[in-house]
Structure 1
Amino acid sequence: MIVPVDHTEPVPRRVRAVLAGRTVLDTTRAVYVWEVPHYPQYYVPATDLDPAAIVDEHHVQRLKRGSARRIGLRAGDQDRPAAGRVYADGPLEGLARLEWDALDAWFEEDEQVFVHPRNPYSRVDALRSTRAVRISLDGVTLAESSSPVLVFETGLPTRYYLNRTDVDFTRLQPSPTRTACPYKGRTSDYWSVLAGGSVHQDLAWAYDFPTAALLPIAGLVSFYNEKVDVHLDGRLLDRPVTHFS
């Protein structure tokens, strides 16, 4: 039984993907398909894939949205088996769905996109502020600022980014952890926190080179509101509950 696709929209931006320095996907006809509620995936016309990079794996899958032929990708000395699938019938006929991590990099127009496509209905705004922010844990002040940058991101609590000179780095321990965000880019630093006689893993981070829209947070430090105490204008905020809790 083929299940209808609940929500699709045309992508108004050029989408490209690169493997081993070679552009294997270049399209202005991508489609957003919401496989999960929070963000979409790109589905692209199979004819906009570089045919020289496609490896037919001769494996047909019977999926809920139709039959699909599994493909691999090959470029230079890189082979990526099971890199995607091309639908042969159903509402997605003729479209290919590539695994995000099968490619080295994805671009919307000329800006790199990380982790997954950006939700066109999400906003992320970085606004300078003069509100008083104090970050503490187990009664220990970790940072205090009257010139934070507040980041408002759809679906997440407000994040407070503080100048490094406002952070007590004697309480922070560098961590090898690195993460990426579709809206902000890749983190450059992570820190664990020393407080209450314990090491609290990976509570703070920074983006030295964020995406263009988030340049106000470049080099600033933020903490997970879910795991520290945030005092805003002298008032202790409730700790939000999110998937980072």
Structure 2
Amino acid sequence: MAQESVLHPALIVPVGHVEPVPRRIRAMVGGRVAFDTRRAVYVWEWPAYPQFSIPVEDLAEGVLTDDDHAEMLSVGPARRHSLRVGSEVREGAAWVWEPGAPEALHGTVRFKWDALDAWFEEDEPVFVHPRSPYSRVDALRSSSSVRVEREGAVLADAPQCVKLFETGLPTRYYLDRVHVDWTRLRASDTVTQCPYKGTTSGYWSFDGDAETHEDIAWAYDFPTTHSHRIAGMVAFYNEHVDLYVDGTLLPGPTKQGRRPSAPSAP
């Protein structure tokens, strides 16, 4: 079977890498500040993106309770804890690093992201996970034409686009809505979030003659300031359509008779 062509830079940060966070990091639980620190560190437990690890001393109103459960995580041993903030209790919300983990993590705690209600870098909210200091997201206007097909049906045909380059992911091609054939697409209720681009405002599926293709296109009507050029535009998963850029069909899994087990991040 042919190997999928890779047309984007790979992620380069190794698991176990630890670096200081130069930003003020806060998180909220039940309307209260669980912690407020300028001494957080990044820890890469997997290559794609880091997590924050917070000095235990910088918990504001949060109280950690040992769950009497130790585990070997990808970067070292840790003990699971529950978090209490006021009347709110979040079971199994945190891992306190133990000897054997990188020295820079000693005395810090890594929280499950979804166990806290809201995270902030300085005064701006952060979604899903911390932004990696080694990743870039660039949205560039381009005169490249883009045609999108699936099962022979033309879903979009645009004379220009905005190309979004995100480290470790395929280039995404954002198209003006006037160049999308909306008669072939069906709106869905799916909503996703991205720490670099914000919260999606729409997803669309395509009901082909052979099969149904769920959530193959999306839009950010109100993206973050870093990605403002894609506001209101529509992108399609390269992995799930036949995508022609300047008349050339891009290589991808669908062209080789196979589909990824899960879609890449939009």
Normalising to structure 2: TM-score of the pair? 0.83
* Aligned counterpart in structure 2 of residue 175 of structure 1, from 188, 192, 197: 188
Matches within 5 A, 1:39-54: 39-50=49-60, 52-54=61-63
1:218 and 1:80 map into 2 onto residues whose CA distance is 36
The answer as to whether partners of 2:67 and 2:82 remain within 8 angstroms in 1 is no
**Per-residue deviation at 1:79?**
2.1
**What SS does the corresponding residue of 2:238 show, helix, strand or coil?**
coil
Q: Deviations over 1:199-232 (max 9, x none)?
A: 2111011111111100111111110001101111
* Cα shift at 1:126: 0.5
Corresponding residue of 1:225: 238
Measured against aligned partners, the alpha-carbon deviations of 1:103-141 in whole angstroms (never above 9, x if no partner) come to 111111222221111221111111111211111111111
The amino acid of 1:207's aligned partner reads Y
For structure 2, the residue ranges without an aligned partner over 5 or more in a row are 1-14, 254-258
Q: 1:98 and 1:223, CA in 2 relative to 1: closer, same or farther beyond 3 A?
A: same
> Residue 118 of structure 1 contacts residue 183 of structure 1 at CA under 8 Å; is this kept in 2?
yes
Q: Deviation at 1:61?
A: 2.2
Q: Is the 8 A contact 1:54 1:71 kept in 2?
A: no
1:230 partner amino acid: L
Aligned partners of 1:60 and 1:67 also within 8 Å: no
After TM superposition, list the pairs within 5 Å mapping 1:1-245 onto structure 2: 6-50=16-60, 52-57=61-66, 59=68, 61=70, 63=72, 68-75=78-85, 77-90=87-100, 91=103, 92-196=105-209, 198-239=211-252, 244=263
% same residue: 55
SS at match of 2:70: strand
Distance in 2 between residues matched to 1:181 and 1:109, nearest whole Å? 18
How many Å apart are 1:172 and its aligned residue?
Answer: 0.7
The 8 Å contact of residues 72 and 83 in structure 1, kept in 2 or not, is answered as yes
Instruction: Kindly report the root-mean-square deviation, in angstroms, between the aligned alpha carbons of the 2 structures.
Output: 2.2
Cα–Cα, structure 1 residues 198 and 45, in superposed 2: closer, same or farther, change >3 Å? same
State the shift of 1:195 in Å: 2.6
TM-superposed CA distance for 1:88, in Å, is 5.0
Q: How far apart are 1:148 and its partner, in Å? A: 1.1
Unmatched segments (≥5 aa) in structure 1: none
Aligned residues: 240
Instruction: Compute the TM-score of the two structures, normalised by the length of structure 1.
Output: 0.89
